[in-house]
Amino acid sequence: MSFRRLLVAAILITILCALPWASAADNADGQTAQALRRFDENKFGMFIHWGLYAIPAGEWKGTYVRGIGEWIMNRARIPVKEYEQLAKQFNPVKFKGAEWAQLAKDAGMRYMVITAKHHDGFAMYGSKASSYNVVDATPYGKDPMKELSAACAQRGVGFGFYYSQDQDWHEPNGRGNTWDFPAERKPKVYLENKVLPQVKELLTGYGTLSLIWFDTPGMLSEEQVSDLRRTVKTLQPSCLLNSRIGHGKGDYFQTGDNAIPIQLYSKSKWEVPATLNDTWGYKKNDQNWKDPADLIAKLADIASKGGNYLLNVGPTAEGAIPEAAQRVLQTIGKWLAVNGEAIYGTAPSPFYFPDITWRCTVKPGKVFLHLINWPGPNFRFEGLESKVKRAYFLGNGKEVPFRQEGRALSFTLPETAPDAYNTVLVVEIADRTPRVAPGYVHNTLPARLDLYAWTARLRGEELRYDRKTSSASNFRNAERDRNELWWYPYGALSGEYNVEFTYACDDRIAGSRFQIGVQKGNQGPAHVALQGRVEGTKAAFVTRRLDGTLRIEPGDQHISFGLPDDDKSAGIKVRKITLTRR
């Protein structure tokens, strides 16, 4: 080839490489960025855990099994051969994809994520890569995901799959089953023979996916996780991946289960997966449905901190979403139909949250104050320097009298809340974005900060929250899944703190040792802890200073409260702990 032809060829190659379609990686990055913007605007989604575990529904051979429903195979150490028999009983004749998709839409949920394969290894769609699937192994013999994905598309609800890419108790090379299989695992064999083929099936058989929700990498190496990401982005560049894909390869951050940051988290887009009751997969004895008022407040809390709320339902083995769950979701949807402007497409609060009276979202020229705990007729809001032009209730449009003095706003409100769940007060300002006074900005927390029970994860089956007293109670002990409060700083706190403890306890049940600790992970003891005895308060709320200090580091996962020895004082009512920086 002549030099001139070589030169022309080189120039053509250079031009082609510079074109937008020349780089798949660049194309994927651009589509990912657009998808993240849509994801951020959506704010609210439906999570669905549905599988064979809905048949035992929390019991195995007549014995109740503690813990979340979809983990029953692991908790009861059920042999593969026995668990496989459940497939012969699975016949969800009540399943109607249109009804599920419509429920999500009516609830104001903008996207849906459903379990394509959970840790039990059973595919809830028609997989060619494994015969252990709902089409080939059950009397139902149909692919419910075809119907559901189409129903979501018809209603404009984004659709995505949960997929357990590492834990698989049905496979000898998957992680987790230590009772059937030897300790040695070959993750590469499992990845190449099951995971990658099934992920490709999901990406090519169910239309456009909003996301794939992976669930912890475990044994998978960074290179293997990169291959998994590359597979997804090659087939659907706009399909988002959560951080549980592992090794920093996700598109957005996934918090722990039911784990809401105590303050705004802004390092990346994030999402909270949360339960509507205590479990994810269906358990027949779990009727602890959360109060719609609490869930609506949680939605406002999460949106105010920059996150999305992925709220779970667990359908029965027959394919029905429990009626109680439907009623709760429809109540949320009715609130959103009126107040959605203060949730969808909003930016997070520019202010830190001093207590649990209010939360804040913003849009250009507007500050939405979510009054989730009614402050009474006089409400003082501090930190806003922008000139206020007007204030009114979003729900009914009524003007709200106010007085602005420097950085303080004083509102005159009705004696009772206009909205039983969350009254949104719209504050129109002269600036496009709020100007916040020094000392009130979201990332400059005060030296003294209250961590309320409401902002904690209620971990355990028996623990309950009471809105009237703003306290959590019933700290029952168990060998595993002990009832505790867990607060998640996610980097918002660091340093050494004095601790105060606000609680109430009947004198008759006082005496148990309590512990406030700091943990780096879900398992194991606290690496820093303060301990004391529960003293009786004649059932009145008191605040007591604890001896010692609590050191919190940026990488610590959560702060906990519990009764480590006995549950004599289980009826203690814990309202908050207060941290004062030393």
Per residue in 28-44, pLDDT tens?
Answer: 789 999 999 999 999 99
Output DSSP code: residue 441: B
Q: Please report where in the chains the tokens 């289980």 appear, as a residue.
A: 570
Look at residue 364 and tell me whether its pLDDT is greater than 90.
yes
Pull the structure tokens for residue 191: 């990845």
Q: How many CB atoms lie within 10 A of CB 526?
A: 20
User: What is the distance between the alpha carbons of residues 113 and 311, in angstroms, rounded to a whole number?
Assistant: 10
In a domain, 391, yes or no: yes
201 and 263 in one domain?
yes
Pull the structure tokens for residue 286: 């779990």
262 and 128 in one domain?
yes
203 and 293 in one domain?
yes
Q: What is the pLDDT of residues 489-535, one digit of tens each?
A: 999 999 999 999 999 999 999 999 999 999 987 776 778 899 999 99
CATH code for the domain in which residue 559 is found: 2.60.120.260
425 and 300 in one domain?
no
What pLDDT sits at residue 24? 45
Q: 297, 315, 341 — which closes off a domain?
A: 341
In a domain, 5, yes or no: no
User: What is the distance between the alpha carbons of residues 1 and 174, in angstroms, rounded to a whole number?
Assistant: 53
Look at residue 406 and tell me whether its pLDDT is greater than 70.
yes
Q: Which of 90, 127, 97 is nearest to 112 (CA)?
A: 97
What pLDDT sits at residue 27? 65
Look at residue 21 and tell me whether its pLDDT is greater than 90.
no
296 and 192 in one domain?
yes
User: What is the distance between the alpha carbons of residues 489 and 558, in angstroms, rounded to a whole number?
Assistant: 6
Look at residue 177 and tell me whether its pLDDT is greater than 90.
yes
Q: What is the pLDDT of residues 220-275, one digit of tens each?
A: 999 999 999 999 999 999 999 999 999 999 999 999 999 999 999 988 899 999 99
CATH code for the domain in which residue 370 is found: 2.60.40.1180
In a domain, 25, yes or no: no
159 and 128 in one domain?
yes
Q: What is the pLDDT of residues 62-81, one digit of tens each?
A: 999 999 999 999 999 999 99
User: What is the distance between the alpha carbons of residues 436 and 266, in angstroms, rounded to a whole number?
Assistant: 17
Q: 429, 460, 487 — which closes off a domain?
A: 429
Q: What is the pLDDT of residues 419-457, one digit of tens each?
A: 999 999 999 999 999 999 999 999 999 999 999 999 999
Beta strands 63-64; 513-519: pairing state: unpaired
- Residue 289's contacts (CB-CB under 8 Å, 6 or more residues apart) are 276, 277, 324, 325, 328
Task: From residue 263, give the alpha-carbon distance in Å to each of 209, 301, 446, 466, 487.
Answer: 31, 9, 12, 22, 11
Beta strands 464-466; 471-473: pairing state: antiparallel
User: What is the distance between the alpha carbons of residues 452 and 411, in angstroms, rounded to a whole number?
Assistant: 25
CB 477 within 8 A of CB 471: no
In a domain, 366, yes or no: yes
CATH code for the domain in which residue 165 is found: 3.20.20.80
Domain hosting 492: range is 448-581
424 and 510 in one domain?
no
Q: What is the pLDDT of residues 458-468, one digit of tens each?
A: 999 999 999 99
Look at residue 413 and tell me whether its pLDDT is greater than 50.
yes
170 and 316 in one domain?
yes
459 and 411 in one domain?
no
Q: How many domains does the chain have?
A: 3
Pull the structure tokens for residue 116: 């394509």
In a domain, 26, yes or no: no
158 and 263 in one domain?
yes
Look at residue 360 and tell me whether its pLDDT is greater than 50.
yes
Task: From residue 32, give the alpha-carbon distance in Å to each of 231, 278, 298, 369, 559.
Answer: 14, 33, 27, 31, 34
Q: What is the pLDDT of residues 296-338, one digit of tens each?
A: 999 999 999 999 999 999 999 999 999 999 999 999 999 999 9
Look at residue 6 and tell me whether its pLDDT is greater than 50.
no
Look at residue 345 and tell me whether its pLDDT is greater than 70.
yes
How many residues are listed for the chain in this entry?
582
In a domain, 16, yes or no: no
Q: Which of 256, 332, 250 is nearest to 289 (CA)?
A: 332
In a domain, 3, yes or no: no
Average pLDDT rounded to a whole number, residues 1-24: 35
Average pLDDT rounded to a whole number, residues 564-572: 96
Look at residue 288 and tell me whether its pLDDT is greater than 70.
yes
What pLDDT sits at residue 22? 31
User: What is the distance between the alpha carbons of residues 144 and 127, in angstroms, rounded to a whole number?
Assistant: 12
User: What is the distance between the alpha carbons of residues 463 and 257, in angstroms, rounded to a whole number?
Assistant: 16
417 and 269 in one domain?
no
In a domain, 285, yes or no: yes
Average pLDDT rounded to a whole number, residues 350-373: 97
384 and 247 in one domain?
no
Please state the pTM of the whole predicted model: 0.94
Look at residue 580 and tell me whether its pLDDT is greater than 90.
yes
User: What is the distance between the alpha carbons of residues 124 and 498, in angstroms, rounded to a whole number?
Assistant: 50
